[in-house]
Amino acid sequence: MEERSPREILIQALIMLTANLIAVWAVLPPDERMWVRLRAAHLSRRALDVLARREGRAGMADELAGRDPGARYVTAYRLGLLRDRLTSLVRP
């Protein structure tokens, strides 16, 4: 039997997981699919909100410490925009 590398095993496991998720998604009723999408959007929005806040606060800390906060502010702004776009997609 031929030895497989850990990378090949990981790739095969990811392919199998993806195939299983597609199969499960295909048999879900439409209303269940909607709830799964809404839950995923909600969790993504919360995660983006937390990340944007952390970057904004880190930018303020950099500013108070005399460092350049520009990169952190830009990152916080872009995360906030992404969060807002996601929110507008979820609302009916």
Residue 82 is given by DSSP the state H
CA dist., res. 21 & res. 24, Å (int): 5
pTM for this predicted structure: 0.69
* DSSP calls for 13-38: HHHHHHHHHHHHHHHS-HHHHHHHHH
Residues in the chain: 92
Residue 64 is given by DSSP the state H
Give per-residue pLDDT as tens, 34-84.
898 889 888 999 999 999 999 999 999 999 999 999 999 999 999 999 999
What is the structure's pLDDT at 92? Answer: 54
